[in-house]
Amino acid sequence: MIVDERMLDYILSLDRDESPLVRTIEQEAVRDYVPIIRKESRNLLKVLLKIKKPGAVLEVGTAIGFSAVLMAECLTGDSHITTIEKYEKRIPIARRNFQRAGMEEKITLLEGDAAEVMKGLDGPYDFIFMDAAKGQYIRFLPEVLRLLAPGGLLVSDNVLQDGDVVESRYAVVRRNRTIHSRMREYLWTLKHMDGLETMVLPIGDGMTVSVKE
Ligand SMILES: C[S@@+](CC[C@H](N)C(=O)[O-])C[C@H]1O[C@@H](n2cnc3c(N)ncnc32)[C@H](O)[C@@H]1O
Ligand SMILES: [Mg+2]
């Protein structure tokens, strides 16, 4: 059975409220047109984090730190999040949000292009959340897989998002209505890679969960 919009509204209405700070950051992201993880995808992320209980988390694509704070709230003990962002305007806002959350110790923000930054990391990470520029996931994959611990989870967001940009004027972006061509390549690669088991989930605009054997 296909989940239609009314059913999705009902499912989301069952959710408990998120923390006041998470709600505030969400409102600020919406106000400033900052893309953040969709509500229905957040649930999966939270459940996976609570099952996996990762010691080390890596996020590719911080934006203003919404998902990093959300994830940090799911972690216990000494676990730590490293998150990477290259957009200079968003970095100070993310840092401020980590301060507001009292999580400057728990979350480390690394600045720069993720492909370059990851080359300087050793890992291993038990949990990697991929949520940067959709056309670049395939470029990030070799480093991401190097950094992922055996038994580690790779969660990738927005993998079924509408396709390539065919027209872009100011804030109006028109995309063709098939899955992004680089994302098709990414999905195919995940599905056919030895030592990786991947499930594609039609949640939000698509998520994958991969486990490294
Ligand atoms: C969808 S937003 C991240 C949302 C965030 N994870 C959340 O849910 O709150 C994607 C972010 O990735 C950043 N980004 C895109 N390409 C990047 C790259 N090559 N290296 C680092 N950051 C990148 C963008 O600047 C943007 O802020
Ligand atoms: Mg996303």
Beta 196-201 vs 207-212: how paired, if at all?
Answer: antiparallel
Domain covering 5-212 in this structure, CATH number:
3.40.50.150
Residues lying with their CB under 5 A of ligand 2, a single-atom ion? 37, 131, 157-158
- The number of the ligand nearest the C-alpha atom of 205 reads 2
Q: Which atom of ligand 1 is nearest to the CA of 63?
A: 27
- pLDDT of res. 161: 80
Q: What is the DSSP string of 101-121?
A: TT-TTTEEEEES-HHHHHHT-
Q: Within 13 A of 106's CA, how many CA atoms are on the CB side?
A: 22
Share of the chain above pLDDT 90, in %: 73
Residue 86: CB within 6 Å of ligand 1? yes
Residue nearest atom 14 in ligand 1 by C-alpha distance? 132
- Say which residue, 46 or 176, is predicted with more confidence: 46
Nearest CA to ligand 1 atom 22: 85
71: Cβ below 6 Å to ligand 1? Answer: no
Q: Is residue 147 scored above 90 in pLDDT?
A: yes
pLDDT at 140: 97
The ipTM (two decimal places) reads 0.99
Higher pLDDT, 176 or 47: 47
> Does residue 170 surpass a pLDDT of 80?
no
Q: Is 30 in the pocket of ligand 1 (CB under 6 A)?
A: no
Which atom of ligand 1 is nearest to 66's Cα?
9
Lowest average pLDDT, out of 3-12, 15-24, 117-126, goes to 3-12
Q: Contact 114/61 with Cβ under 8 angstroms? A: yes
Mean pLDDT of the chain: 90
- Which residue's CA is the nearest one to ligand 1's atom 27? 63
Q: Is the CB of 66 under 6 A from ligand 1?
A: yes
Q: Is the CB of 69 under 6 A from ligand 1?
A: no
- Contacts of 105 by beta carbon, 8 Å cutoff, 6+ apart: none
Check whether 158 is labelled as a binding-site residue: yes
The strand pairing partners of 201, in sequence order, are: 207
Domain range summary for the chain, segments of one domain joined by +: 5-212
> Average pLDDT of 73-85?
95
Per residue in 30-50, pLDDT tens?
A: 999 999 999 889 999 999 999
CA of 124 to the centre of ligand 2 (A): 23
- What is the layout of strands, in order, in the sheet containing 56-60? 107-111, 80-85, 56-60, 125-130, 148-157, 207-212, 196-201
Determine phi and psi for 207, rounding to 5 degrees.
-140, 150
